[in-house]
Structure formats: structure tokens, C-alpha cells
Amino acid sequence: MARQSPQRPDADEPELDDTDAAAAADEVEEDRPPADRALWDEVRIDPVEIALPAGTGFTLRAYRQARELTPTDVAERDQDDPFLARRQVVETEEDEEVVILDEEFAALSAEEDDEDEEKDAKSRRKGKADASDDEKAEADEDDAEADEDEDEAGDEEVPVFLTHKGRLLLFKTPESLVTFIRSGAPNDLSQLDSWNELSERLEPADIAPLDEDTYELDLVVENLRGGHDAWDHELLIEAGEIARDLAYALRLPAVLDMLSAGSSLDDLDEALRASVNGGVGGFLGRRRLKKIGAQTASLGWRTIVGKISAVVDWRD
């Protein structure tokens, strides 16, 4: 059977040029109804899309008070990580100091110091019975402040992702993500009171992340290498937001430290935010950006992206 030639447009109908065709496509896009957000608003969980050097995947993120969450268990992950298993120490004979070369273990050492301080605090509280009245009053005041700080920490809203045993679960398609959620497989989001409702109602069409929930970590290092004039402020600011959230939820102390207040990458983030605000603050922000080394920033972010990528569990 001979192929029929395509019908030519009617002579009375005007042909659309490229500009008109683009405008028509935009109108169709505007007429298309946005993805229904009712379910996500009810369960207080959001779909997230993250691009990494190894690919792009979908996952879920929620924010809850810290006291409501059980952190992901990283024991198995860290045990299987050859980098963490290779603790490098150098003991000097002169002063018997231990130099920790591994930044991960430097962070762990800081945690151990915090535990020692907590033990000392408990010892001081135990011995306050023999102290004078003034010392008792002072100790009671310190305890009250410590309890208040603990309460504030518990009331802080923190991120939690679709994770399991210290690894971020990333799915290459909405269908595979929905299949996993419906399967009842163990994960850290299942502790949320709205999880069962989500697993019962979720459909692949619902996996449509908002623009502010779409992150391109795969472009950060290359963008920073392009130099100050090429820096994409929005890209870098959003990268900082998702990296902090992931570092907290996945318990990556080295990444948290690299992005902590006063660090060079935090200075970069503050300068970027100031520069997009305009006015005098924007002018000062742009001046600060020019003082930040592009090479240092790109190397730092390469490390961050690498550490996050190392704890991703890709699912088809």
C-alpha cells in the first residue's frame, strides 16, 4: 500500500512561522493544568529531583521536628566504606600527639569530645550536692539552660529524606519510585504518621517536583570553574540548600563542617545571597564574591558532590 503524502495546509489558513509556533506551544503549556499538590500538602512530604554526575533521580523529602525523628542508621554504611575504614593516624614521639589525617575521623573525634564534655557535665551535676548554696544555685541555672537548649534543639525543624541505612534512595523514574513506596520496603520516611496515607494514594503522575525542589548538583563544579563572571547564583544557592539538608539527613559530618558558619563555602553562599538582593547589600555581596577563589570553591564542591554521590543507592 502506497504511503499517503501529508496533507498540505488549506490555502486560506495562514502558515505559522517559528515565532508563532513557539507562542502557540507556550499557550498549550499554560493551558495544561499543574500537577495536583493536594496530596503532598496533606501528607507534608514533597517529591524532589536531584541531578548528580551519575544521573538524575527522584526521591522524597519532608521536614519535621527533630524530636519526632529517629536518625538514619549509618553503622552498616560506614563499616562498608573503605575510606572510613582506613583511619590514618600519626603519633609523634616528642609530644605524643595524634594527628588525624582523615577529615571524616576529625569530625568523629569532635563528636567524641562532645561526649566527654557531656560526661564531665554529669559528673559536675552529681557532685553539686556537696557544693555551697551559691554553687548549687549556679549549677541549677546551668542545668536549666542546658535543658532549654535541648528543648530548642528538639523543636527545630529538620530534613528527612527517603533513605535507608544511611543511603539516599534515588529512583530514575516516577514509576519505580511509586512501586517502591507501595511495596512496603523499609525506609526512614515510614516513621512519619502520614506515610501510610501517601503509600495508598500515590500515583506516578503525582511525582512532579516543583522548580524549587529540583536541584542540579552535577553542574555546580563546572560552573564554579568558569570563573566569577560565569557563576550561576541561583544554581549555587540551591545547591547549598540541598547539600545541607542531605548532609544532615544522611549524617555526613564532613560535609556539614565544610558548609558550616564561617567556612569558605558558607562565605560564598552568603555573598551569593547578598548579591542577588540588590541595593547596597548586593553591591557589597558582589565585591565579596570577587575575593573568593574559584579554584578553592570548585575543589570544595567537588568533594561535597563526591561524598553525597558515594552514599546514593540508585534504583531503576
> CA-CA distance, 186 to 201, in Å (whole number)?
18
Q: How confident is the model at residue 155 (pLDDT cuts 50, 70, 90)?
A: confident
Per mean pLDDT, which of 8-22, 32-46, 62-76, 265-279 is the most reliable?
62-76
pTM equals 0.69
| pLDDT > 50? residue 97 | no
Identify which of 217, 302, 226 has the alpha carbon closest to the alpha carbon of residue 265.
302
Q: Distance of CA 151 to CAs 49, 125, 277, Å?
A: 33, 19, 34
**pLDDT for residue 98:** 37
Weakest-pLDDT range from 17-26, 222-231, 284-293: 17-26
d(CA 292, CA 271): 9
Q: Which of 41-50, 143-152, 292-301 has the lowest mean pLDDT?
A: 143-152
193: cell is: 504518621
Give residue-wise pLDDT tens across range 177-188.
999 999 999 999
Domain limits, the chain: 88-155
Q: How many residues comprise the chain?
A: 316
CB-based contact 246:72 (threshold 8 Å): no
Extract the C-alpha cell encoding 107: 569530625
Largest distance between two CA atoms of the chain: 106
Strand 214-216 vs strand 45-52: parallel, antiparallel, or unpaired?
parallel
Q: Which region, left, alpha or beta, applies to residue 165 given φ > 0 means left and ψ of -120 to 50 means alpha?
A: left
| Degrees to nearest 5, angle at CA 75 with 182 and 61 | 40
Is residue 195 packed enough to be buried (19+ CB in 10 Å), middle (13-18) or exposed (0-12)?
middle
- How far is residue 65's CA from residue 259's CA, in Å, rounded to a whole number? 22
Q: Are the CB atoms for 69 and 191 separated by under 8 Å?
A: yes
pLDDT of residue 134: 56
User: Which of the four pLDDT bands, split at 50, 70 and 90, describes residue 239?
Assistant: very high
Residue 82 backbone dihedrals phi, psi, to 5 degrees: -65, -30
- Of residues 112 and 135, more confidence is placed in 135
More confident residue, 148 or 81: 81
Among 8-12, 127-131, 245-249, which stretch is predicted with the lowest mean pLDDT? 8-12
According to DSSP, the residues that pair with 64 across neighbouring strands are 158
Separation CA 138–CA 132 (nearest Å): 10
pLDDT grade for 94, boundaries at 50, 70 and 90: very low
